[in-house]
């Protein structure tokens, strides 16, 4: 004969009752009343329960909003109830300590060089780096990257999602990156502006993700021609808070591939987003791209919120309610930024004896490289210093050149955003008397031309854009 | 008490004092009930290990203090987008987007609407209490008409519009499979709410679609009433505007079971276009008769002339021969209006500047292109133009060869206007000797390997281009 099972009656520790009284109206037997005595531990007035007439219907339990409020009476109802520690144990979570699922490096068969656009090269780099999740919103001149992902990822059982906006895009990345998987987007300047909120959250929550910004002309809608006017966003403006991310600046289709692969390594190494600033010209440029001999199958890091038992105890968040906690978190992030200093990269071309050092990145660096050749041909000791990371700025490599050079000429497609970085980096060194810094700048989708750079260095003629620039007041902020 | 709640709420002020076992919610708040029903559903369905809870911004920002599951805290309004990212990362995860009314029905409208339209299996718990809680009693998108709040001190007026009826809105979207509005103000409705939350979770567990439960909840603090009065207020005032019940229940068969991503190197290589096929080389050395290191070409015409394709073929040919090469479609104001210009470089070792401001060779498919770029061609350079369309080429710099080739007419005679760019490549070969003929033809054949039937026509077009120039210059 089956044993009759008695339903448990409610049980309440007064210190976990906020006295809201939602249980009172739920009880058909009128067993519960508002209390009259203030609980000395909480300062609140818990309800009073008289179980004499209780029929153990359980409705009061369902009505109590507190997890540890009204509950079914535990089987062992002893004096131990006085001690919540002993009653509930001290474990925070029953989940295990997460174990790392390591990434695998797989050999890639040898192949002939590809002849592809910069945007395609970057997408292929992502696939070789193990990225199987792409989220994005179409925007010229970056769309080839998204289009190739849309074509290839389904064939690799990967995920391509065309998001409702760039705001949604970065939050999809926050989700997939938070789950510990490599993911990315392609965008261009106006879209990048929209992603900055989410990038701040990603930095705050230490979520990896790769952002390829194929920069176009601004401000506002601007145009779809190349510009470098998002340098300040990438380097100094990644949303609110004390944020930084490694910023890579490729200048060839080959580098679009190589630096995208590097970006995925760095984003997981530091648990921090990585920004690739390309430009509209480079994105559209076709060139020779040699594939590496390995590819990656990603693992799942220990910190991820993947949605399995191994990672159950994890949390992805950027909220630190207490000021001391948030300051400590900021200190931790800043220590991480400091560690990233070793990632500074640059390339010097004919700089050993250079009296005139040109400084440029992205496509303008290629015009500058052409100009160096022209200048050398005409007997001018010119060289090119090309940052590959803008943050951290490769000041250690620039400094010896800057000490030796007679002139520094910054070549850029912006109103001086690269030059500002150079000046800031120099200002933090022991160099007090920097050689004159001159510039060749174009904006609005125009790029500095090789001839203009040569003319600037030789002082042979006024260069395009300079006449007007001379009339513009220098803006110091 | 559900075991899905943490034994101790360590994240709640480091579990100081009573905070280890008490929520941060005000007495009588409906969030605690929604949390409990969610925790119980997770426990009953046995999915605690697989669950990822996405906390929003608002009072329930600290959902992660309480639920012993994977937790992610999202930006204001973005929880469904974050949830989608989690679900796509691990389709086996059970992902819950838990949001309040300001979060879901105001700042996050685009995210919830797009997620609800896409219909990827997710569970959305929407707690509607008609007011902003954590921010301090401001008007919510779901505040009632005439409701006085901190930002509607004279009552919600007509210019603020009617309250958002989210359950009705999302039930009208194609991706949702189950939508119900429930309430918490009495025992019967609490039982329904619990059941609805469990069903919404189960639908996702079974991979059937996006389920949405709107919970009408009480905010005694900001409605400035005691909990009992608030329950009554919800019943008397919210219900007429937000009718309870199932808004949609069209649960399909399980369909969401994506395969894990592939990391097969052979497959990846093939898909990205990598091939070990080594194309035959014909150049014995770099064409130094044109330039010692770096030759630049400009191809200019109208869209449809094939300038970009011809440019790509030159770049491919150069790279096949082991040189460096680049191609860029021209930018600048002149690239508007259906014109199509391409800059190409072929360099012995490395192309420095991929632009071609002073090309060695110009191929002009029409008169404006010839007029514009003809003067930029270097001394000693070559201009090839389509004499079918340009009748008066004009004169250009000293030492610049100007050769008219009837590209269009030749192509028309061959039966396909589109091969005029291949005629141009033949002419380029014959006029400059940039590469041997076979180098060009190998690049053309390789480009057409998926459309082999086109190869003979293109070979013929190339031959005509060569022959025309040879005849003209002999």
Other Cβ atoms closer than 10 A to A84? 17
Is some CB atom of chain B closer than 8 A to the CB atom of A16?
yes
For B85-117, write each residue's pLDDT tens digit: 999 999 999 999 999 999 999 999 999 999 999
Summarize the confidence of residues B25-41 as an average pLDDT. 97
Question: Considering the domain boundaries, does residue A477 fall inside one?
Answer: no
Nearest to A285 among B21, B273, B326 (CB): B326
Q: pLDDT confidence of B408, banded at 50, 70, 90? A: very high
Q: Which chain B residue shows the shortest CA-CA distance from A124?
A: B272
Whole-number pLDDT of residue A90? 53
Question: Considering the domain boundaries, does residue A260 fall inside one?
Answer: yes
For B220-256, write each residue's pLDDT tens digit: 999 999 999 999 999 999 999 999 999 999 989 999 9
Q: Do B21 and A67 touch (CB under 8 A)?
A: yes
CATH of residue A360? 3.40.50.920
A132 and A52 within one domain: no
A158 and A132 within one domain: yes
Per-domain boundaries in chain B? 13-249, 294-473
For A62-85, write each residue's pLDDT tens digit: 999 999 999 988 665 554 454 555
Q: Do A291 and B269 touch (CB under 8 A)?
A: yes
Summarize the confidence of residues B53-82 as an average pLDDT. 97
The Cα–Cα gap between A399 and A412 comes to 20
Q: Which chain B residue shows the shortest CA-CA distance from A198?
A: B75
For A175-188, write each residue's pLDDT tens digit: 999 999 999 999 99
Q: Inform me whether the pLDDT recorded for A473 exceeds 70.
A: no
Q: Do A161 and B88 touch (CB under 8 A)?
A: yes
Nearest to A109 among B83, B269, B315 (CB): B269
A50 and A137 within one domain: no
Summarize the confidence of residues A159-167 as an average pLDDT. 98
Q: Which of A342, A360, A385 is the last residue of a domain?
A: A342
Question: Considering the domain boundaries, does residue A112 fall inside one?
Answer: yes
* Cβ under 8 Å to B: A residues 330-369: 363, 366-367, 369
A80 and A158 within one domain: no
Q: Which of A291, A325, A342 is the last residue of a domain?
A: A342
Q: Do B61 and A319 touch (CB under 8 A)?
A: yes
CA distance B446 to chain A (A): 12
Q: How many domains does chain A have?
A: 3
A304 and A371 within one domain: no
Q: Inform me whether the pLDDT recorded for B333 exceeds 70.
A: no
Q: What is the ipTM of this complex?
A: 0.93
Whole-number pLDDT of residue A464? 61
A320 and A198 within one domain: yes
Beta strands per DSSP E along B56-152? 70-73, 94-100, 123-128
Q: Inform me whether the pLDDT recorded for A434 exceeds 90.
A: no
Top CATH class of B294-473 equals alpha beta
A350 and A210 within one domain: no
Nearest to B33 among A65, A71, A205 (CB): A65
Average pLDDT of every residue of chain B: 95
Question: Considering the domain boundaries, does residue A96 fall inside one?
Answer: no
Q: pLDDT confidence of B190, banded at 50, 70, 90? A: very high
Range of the domain at A15: 10-88
Q: Do A71 and B1 touch (CB under 8 A)?
A: yes
A366 and A431 within one domain: yes
Q: Which of A88, A122, A145 is the last residue of a domain?
A: A88
The Cα–Cα gap between A357 and A366 comes to 14
A239 and A338 within one domain: yes
Q: Do B327 and A287 touch (CB under 8 A)?
A: yes
Q: Which chain A residue shows the shortest CA-CA distance from B447?
A: A115
A316 and A169 within one domain: yes
Q: Which of A87-96, A325-334, B125-134, B398-407 has the lowest mean pLDDT?
A: A87-96
For B274-284, write each residue's pLDDT tens digit: 998 888 999 99
The Cα–Cα gap between A357 and A372 comes to 9
Q: pLDDT confidence of A3, banded at 50, 70, 90? A: low
Q: Which of A86, A145, A288, A383 to mutate to test the interface with B (most CBs of B within 10 A)?
A: A288
Whole-number pLDDT of residue A477? 42
Q: Inform me whether the pLDDT recorded for B148 exceeds 60.
A: yes
Residue B443: list chain A partners with CB under 8 A. none
Whole-number pLDDT of residue A467? 52
Q: What percent of chain B has pLDDT over 70?
A: 98
CA distance B324 to chain A (A): 7
Q: Which chain B residue shows the shortest CA-CA distance from A180?
A: B89
Whole-number pLDDT of residue A472? 46
Q: pLDDT confidence of A94, banded at 50, 70, 90? A: confident
Nearest to B271 among A155, A321, A373 (CB): A155
Q: Do B89 and A181 touch (CB under 8 A)?
A: yes
A295 and A219 within one domain: yes
The answer to whether the CB of B150 falls within 8 A of the CB of B138 is yes
A391 and A367 within one domain: yes
Q: Inform me whether the pLDDT recorded for B329 exceeds 90.
A: no
Is some CB atom of chain B closer than 8 A to the CB atom of A150?
no
Q: Hey, which CATH number is domain B13-249, 3.40.50.970, 3.40.718.10, 3.40.50.740, 3.10.110.10?
A: 3.40.50.970
Question: Considering the domain boundaries, does residue A1 fall inside one?
Answer: no
Which is higher by pLDDT, B43 or A449? B43
Residue A104: list chain B partners with CB under 8 A. 263
Q: Which chain B residue shows the shortest CA-CA distance from A217?
A: B332
CA distance B450 to chain A (A): 17
Whole-number pLDDT of residue A79? 47
CATH of residue A291? 3.40.50.970
SS (H, E, C) chain A: CCCCCCCCCEECCHHHCCCCCHHHHHCCCCCEECCCCCCCCCCCCCCEECHHHCCCCCHHHHHCCCCCCCEECCCCCCHHHHCHHHHHCCCCCCCCCCCCECCEEEECCCCCCEEEEHHHHHHHHHHHCCCCEEEECCCCCCHHHHHHHHHHHHHHCCEEEECCCHHHHHHHHHHHHHCCCCEEEEECHHHHHHHHHHHHHHHHHCCCCEEEEEEECCCCCCCCCECCCCHHHHHHCCCCCCCCCEEECCCCHHHHHHHHHHHHHHHHHHCCCEEEEEEHHHHHCEEEECCCCEEEECCECCCCCCCCHHHCCCEECCCCCCHHHHHHHHHHHHHHHHHHHHHCCEEEECCCCCCEEEECCHHHHHHHHHHHHHHHHCCCCEEEEEECEEECCCHHHHHHHHHHCCEEEEEECCCCHHHHHHHHHHHCCCCCCCCCEEEEECCCCCCCCHHHHHHHHHCCCCCCCHHHHHHCCCCCC
For A315-354, write each residue's pLDDT tens digit: 999 999 999 999 999 999 999 999 999 999 999 999 999 9
For A365-411, write each residue's pLDDT tens digit: 999 999 999 999 999 999 999 999 999 999 999 999 999 999 999 99
């Amino acid at each position: 004969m089956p044993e009759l099972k008695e339903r448990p009656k409610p049980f309440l520790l007064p210190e976990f009752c906020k006295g809201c009284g939602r249980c009172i109206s739920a009880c058909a037997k009128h067993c519960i009343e508002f209390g009259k005595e203030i609980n000395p531990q909480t300062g609140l007035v818990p309800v009073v329960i008289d179980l004499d007439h209780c029929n153990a219907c359980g409705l009061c339990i369902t009505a109590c909003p507190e997890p540890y409020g009204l509950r079914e009476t535990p089987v062992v109802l002893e004096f131990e109830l006085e001690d919540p520690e002993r009653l509930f144990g001290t474990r925070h979570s029953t989940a295990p300590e997460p174990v790392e699922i390591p990434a695998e490096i797989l050999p890639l068969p040898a192949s002939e060089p590809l002849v592809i656009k910069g945007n395609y090269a970057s997408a292929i780099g992502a696939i070789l780096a193990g990225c199987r999740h792409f989220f994005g919103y179409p925007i010229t001149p970056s769309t080839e990257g998204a289009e190739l992902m849309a074509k290839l990822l389904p064939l690799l059982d990967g995920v391509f999602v065309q998001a409702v906006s760039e705001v949604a895009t970065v939050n999809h990345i926050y989700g997939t990156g938070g789950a510990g998987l490599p993911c990315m987007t392609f965008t261009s300047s106006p879209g990048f502006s929209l992603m900055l909120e989410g990038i701040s959250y990603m930095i705050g929550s230490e979520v990896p993700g790769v952002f390829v910004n194929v920069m176009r002309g601004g401000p506002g809608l601007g145009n779809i021609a190349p510009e470098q006017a998002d340098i300040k966003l990438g380097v100094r403006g990644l949303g609110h808070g004390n944020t930084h991310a490694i910023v890579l600046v490729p200048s060839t289709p080959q580098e679009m591939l190589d630096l995208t692969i590097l970006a995925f390594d760095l984003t997981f190494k530091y648990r921090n987003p990585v920004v690739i600033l390309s430009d509209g010209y480079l994105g559209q440029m076709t060139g020779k791209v040699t594939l590496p001999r390995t590819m990656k199958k990603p693992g799942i890091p220990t910190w991820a919120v993947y949605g399995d038992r191994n990672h159950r105890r994890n949390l992805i968040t950027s909220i630190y309610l207490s000021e001391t906690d948030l300051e400590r978190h900021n200190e931790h992030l800043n220590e991480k930024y400091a560690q990233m200093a070793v990632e500074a990269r640059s390339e010097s071309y004919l700089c050993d004896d250079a009296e005139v050092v040109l400084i440029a990145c992205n496509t303008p660096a290629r015009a500058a490289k052409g100009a160096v050749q022209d200048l050398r041909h005409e007997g001018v000791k010119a060289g090119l210093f090309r940052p590959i990371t803008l943050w951290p700025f490769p000041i250690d490599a620039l400094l010896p050149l800057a000490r030796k050079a007679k002139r520094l000429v910054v070549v850029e497609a912006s109103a001086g955003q690269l030059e500002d970085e150079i000046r800031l980096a120099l200002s933090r060194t022991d160099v007090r008397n920097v050689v004159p810094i001159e510039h060749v700048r174009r904006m609005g989708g125009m790029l500095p031309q090789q001839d203009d750079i040569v003319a600037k260095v030789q002082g042979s003629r006024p260069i395009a854009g300079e006449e007007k620039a001379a009339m513009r007041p220098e803006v110091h902020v | 008490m559900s075991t899905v709640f943490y034994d101790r709420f360590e994240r709640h002020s480091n579990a100081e004092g009573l905070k280890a076992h008490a929520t941060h919610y005000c007495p009588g708040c409906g969030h605690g009930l929604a949390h409990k029903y969610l925790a119980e559903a997770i426990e009953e369905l046995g999915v605690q290990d697989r669950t990822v809870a996405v906390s929003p911004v608002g009072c329930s920002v600290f959902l992660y203090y309480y639920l012993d599951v994977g937790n992610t805290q999202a930006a204001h309004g973005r929880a469904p987008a974050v949830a989608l990212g989690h679900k796509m990362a691990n389709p086996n995860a059970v992902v819950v987007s838990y949001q309040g009314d300001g979060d879901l029905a105001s700042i996050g409208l685009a995210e919830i609407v797009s997620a609800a339209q896409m219909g990827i299996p997710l569970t959305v718990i929407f707690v509607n209490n008609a007011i902003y809680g954590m921010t301090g009693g401001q008007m919510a998108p779901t505040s009632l008409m005439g409701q006085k709040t901190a930002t509607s001190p004279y009552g919600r007026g007509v210019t603020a519009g009617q309250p958002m009826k989210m359950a009705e809105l999302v039930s009208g979207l194609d991706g949702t499979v189950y939508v119900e509005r429930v309430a918490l103000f009495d025992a019967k409705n609490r039982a329904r709410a619990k059941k609805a939350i469990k069903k919404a979770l189960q639908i996702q567990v079974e991979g059937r679609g996006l389920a949405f439960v709107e919970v009408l909840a009480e905010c005694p603090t900001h409605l400035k009433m005691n909990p009992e009065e608030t329950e009554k207020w919800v019943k008397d005032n919210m219900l007429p505007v937000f009718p309870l019940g199932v808004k949609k229940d069209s649960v399909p068969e399980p369909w969401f079971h994506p395969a894990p991503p592939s990391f097969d190197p052979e497959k990846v290589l093939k898909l990205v276009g990598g091939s070990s096929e080594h194309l035959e080389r014909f150049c014995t050395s770099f064409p130094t008769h044109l330039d010692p290191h770096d030759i630049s070409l400009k191809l200019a015409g109208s869209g449809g002339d094939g300038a970009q394709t011809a440019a790509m073929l030159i770049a491919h040919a150069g790279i096949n021969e082991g040189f460096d090469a680049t191609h860029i479609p021209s930018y600048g104001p002149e690239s508007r209006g259906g014109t199509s210009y391409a800059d190409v470089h072929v360099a012995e070792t490395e192309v420095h500047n991929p632009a071609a401001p002073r090309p060695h060779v110009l191929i002009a498919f029409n008169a404006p292109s010839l007029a514009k770029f003809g003067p930029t061609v270097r001394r000693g350079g070559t201009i090839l133009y389509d004499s079918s369309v340009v009748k008066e080429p004009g004169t250009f710099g000293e030492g610049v060869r100007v050769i008219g080739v009837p590209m269009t007419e030749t192509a028309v005679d061959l039966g396909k206007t589109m091969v005029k760019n291949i005629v141009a490549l033949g002419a380029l070969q014959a006029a400059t000797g940039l590469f041997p003929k076979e180098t060009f033809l190998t690049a053309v054949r390789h480009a057409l390997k998926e459309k082999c039937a086109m190869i003979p026509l293109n070979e013929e077009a190339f031959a005509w281009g060569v022959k025309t120039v040879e005849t003209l210059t002999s």
